[in-house]
């Protein structure tokens, strides 16, 4: 199946092209990049990269299309999104195989999470497009919510399709036109998505895709005077660079950046339920999620039991070939990330954290590929690097506390504020702690994912919100028209 993905894109000529103004076109330059299978560290394809010149062409196409798309009926936009949603479900296996190949997701996880959750973003955007009150009244004044304009969307490699749909769906629902720059490290699913958009009947120029790297294509998007908004999901460093470049033209910037999410286990928590679920959440997608709860903050008197349960949970993880249905966790996505995870495991050991399972190097029996040992440290001090810095790998820091106030202080004691978890059998106590944690989302007792729940960060985790109504509103301007309603005569 993986070879057929490459054959499909090769035979269509799409590995060599970008998608601008409704057509697959050759980029202006000759730059290319290799797509690496992280399970073998071997190249599987080469993809053409765009340039600043291509960004200019794509933005011009989006600007032309905005004139008509922005005033199209919400129902017509919902209809397009409905077709996109149906095609994602129809091509779900194709997307799952592409994601597994390009960034190493275990195929079971790609099928059960990466693709279905991506489809949910489109479904929710479709429903909001058909029901959102774009025009309301306040006395004699009309409040109009209008599309902000041309939006450049910069997405990461860790949830490649999911992050695309989380931005594209709301932007289209709002009436915006789009230039998408997916990560050059995971471009295959993005190319398949561009094929899907054309097959769904997206109007010419409404959706454009320019593959490329941040210094060339991302910077050109951020600085372009005809771009009205940038939405970026990536590292805090990348978000800062985009915001600095965008400031010159005073465009809106929405940023979903780094995280170091806490998981506060309150003293009365059911450890048999809370701890395995916490390990699973921290190591989901091999820990490559910005909201992964990689700091487990636990009562000191229950530390030994928590360590034992957590290590038992790790023993059930199967790290192996991502194409095998038995595999639960594949490799990390790229060499830079592998090196980062190894560096941070080494830092935990050097700083004196107690290694309770995992450690440096590959899992036993895996001689090649970017595979990492799921690792848990305990007796972690809140100021250690492994408790402060985003690792983006399967590394969990267990941090003991002596009072609930101290637990909250530890939870809030990083520069990030994206996600958080609280575990307790007393819902009132859990709510009270959740209210004190400074983060954009808090999960109480591992609830089901809610695609309508707004997602975004406090502090250096970014600004703006994605998902649900709030996600659509990020792409809207507010206009007040005074005297819109006829005044009643006395």
Is 290 annotated as catalytic?
Answer: yes
Read off the tokens for 475.
């792409």
Domain spanning 2-257+463-479: CATH superfamily: Aldehyde Dehydrogenase; Chain A, domain 1 (3.40.605.10)
pLDDT at 280 over 80: yes
Mean of per-residue pLDDT scores for the chain? 97
pLDDT of 325:
97
pLDDT score of 205:
98
Extract the tokens encoding 242.
Answer: 């985009």
Average pLDDT, integer, range 440-461: 97
Rounded to the nearest 5°, which phi and psi values hold at 156? -95, 180
Q: Is the pLDDT of residue 92 over 70?
A: yes
Average pLDDT of 473-480? 98
Environment class of 42 (CB within 10 Å of its CB; exposed 0-12, middle 13-18, buried 19+): exposed
**For the purposes of burial, counting CB atoms within 10 Å of the CB of 138, is it exposed (0-12), middle (13-18) or buried (19 or more)?**
exposed
Distance CA 245, CA 251 (A): 10
User: For residue 123, is pLDDT > 80?
Assistant: yes
Mean of pLDDT values over 436-456: 98
- What's the rounded Cα separation, in Å, for the pair 479 and 147? 10
Do the beta carbons of residue 173 and residue 128 sit within 8 Å?
Answer: yes
Q: Distance between CA atoms of 324 and 107, rounded to whole angstroms?
A: 7
For 339-370, how does the pLDDT look when each residue is reduced to its tens digit (9 = 90+)? 999 999 999 999 999 999 999 999 999 999 99
- Are the C-beta atoms of 264 and 433 separated by less than 8 Å? yes
What 3 state SS string does 170-211 have?
HHHHHCCEEEEECCCCCCHHHHHHHHHHHHCCCCCCCEEECC
- Please give the average per-residue pLDDT across 137-155, as a whole number: 97
Q: So where are the chain's domains?
A: 2-257+463-479, 262-450
* Res 485: pLDDT: 87
Proportion of the chain above pLDDT 90, given as a percent: 98
**Tokens found for residue 228:** 């009205």
Contact criterion met (CB below 8 Å) for 245 and 220 = no
Is pLDDT at 489 greater than 70 in this prediction?
no
Half-sphere exposure of 233 (CA within 13 A, CB side): 26
24: phi then psi, degrees, rounded to nearest 5: -85, 115
* Average pLDDT, integer, range 192-219: 98
How much is the pLDDT for 488? 65
Q: What is the mean pLDDT of residues 396-419?
A: 98
Domains 2-257+463-479 and 262-450 share a fold: no
- Fold classification of 262-450 is Aldehyde Dehydrogenase; Chain A, domain 2 (3.40.309)
Q: Are 121 and 113 in contact (CB under 8 A)?
A: no
Q: Please state the pTM of the whole predicted model.
A: 0.97
225-241: per-residue pLDDT in tens?
Answer: 999 999 999 999 999 99
Whose CA is closest to 288, among 332, 234, 233, 335? 332
pLDDT score at 486: 79
Per-residue model confidence (pLDDT) at position 208? 99
From the candidates 151, 152, 290, 357, give the one annotated as an active-site residue. Answer: 290
* pLDDT at residue 369 in the model: 98
Catalytic residue among 102, 120, 184, 256: 256
pLDDT of residue 151: 98
Average pLDDT of the residues in 79-100? 98
Mean pLDDT for 147-171 is: 98
Place of tokens 């729940």: 453
Query: What pLDDT, on the 0 to 100 scale, is given for residue 1?
Result: 61
């Amino acid at each position: 199946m993986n070879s057929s993905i490459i054959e499909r894109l090769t035979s269509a000529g799409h590995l060599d092209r970008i998608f601008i103004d409704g057509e697959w076109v050759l980029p202006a330059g000759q730059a290319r990049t290799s797509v690496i299978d992280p399970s073998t560290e071997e190249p599987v394809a080469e993809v053409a990269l765009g340039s600043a010149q291509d960004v200019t062409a794509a933005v011009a196409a989006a600007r032309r299309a905005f004139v008509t798309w922005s005033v199209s009926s919400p129902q017509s936009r919902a209809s397009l999104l409905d077709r996109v949603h149906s095609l994602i479900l129809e091509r779900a296996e194709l997307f799952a195989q592409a994601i597994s190949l390009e960034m190493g997701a275990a195929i079971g996880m790609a099928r059960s999470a990466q693709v279905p959750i991506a489809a949910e973003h489109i479904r929710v955007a479709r429903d909001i497009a058909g029901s959102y009150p774009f025009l309301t009244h306040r006395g004699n004044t009309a409040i109009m919510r209008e599309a902000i304009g041309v939006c450049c969307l910069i997405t990461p490699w860790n949830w490649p399709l999911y992050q695309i749909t989380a931005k594209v769906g709301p932007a289209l629902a709002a009436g915006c036109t789009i230039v998408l720059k997916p990560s050059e490290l995971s471009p295959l699913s993005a190319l398949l998505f561009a094929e899907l958009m054309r097959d769904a009947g997206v109007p010419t120029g409404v959706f454009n895709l320019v593959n490329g790297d941040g210094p060339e294509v991302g910077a050109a998007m951020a600085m372009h005077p005809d771009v009205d908004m940038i939405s970026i999901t990536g590292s805090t460093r990348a978000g800062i660079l985009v915001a600095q470049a965008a400031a010159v033209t005073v465009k809106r910037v929405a940023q979903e950046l780094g995280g170091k999410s806490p998981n506060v286990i309150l003293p009365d928590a059911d450890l048999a339920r809370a701890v395995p679920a916490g390990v699973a959440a921290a190591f989901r997608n091999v820990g490559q999620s910005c909201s992964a709860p990689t700091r487990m903050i636990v009562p000191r008197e229950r530390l030994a039991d928590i360590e034992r349960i957590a290590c038992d949970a790790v023993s059930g993880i199967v790290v192996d070939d991502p194409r095998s249905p038995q595999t639960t966790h594949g490799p990390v996505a790229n060499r830079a990330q592998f090196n980062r995870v190894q560096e941070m495991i080494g830092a935990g050991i050097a700083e004196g954290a107690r290694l309770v399972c995992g450690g440096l190097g590959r899992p036993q029996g895996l001689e090649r590929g970017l595979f990492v040992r799921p690792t848990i440290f305990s007796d972690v001090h809140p100021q250690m690097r492994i408790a402060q810095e985003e690792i983006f790998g399967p590394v969990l820091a267990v941090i003991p506390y002596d009072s609930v106030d101290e637990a909250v202080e530890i939870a809030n004691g990083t520069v990030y504020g994206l996600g958080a978890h609280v575990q307790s059998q007393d819902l009132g106590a859990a709510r009270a702690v959740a209210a004190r944690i400074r983060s954009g989302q808090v999960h109480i007792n591992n609830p089901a994912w809610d695609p309508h729940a707004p997602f975004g960060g406090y502090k250096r985790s970014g600004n703006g919100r994605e998902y649900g109504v709030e996600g659509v509103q990020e792409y809207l301007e507010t206009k007040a028209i005074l005297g819109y309603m006829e005044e009643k005569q006395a």
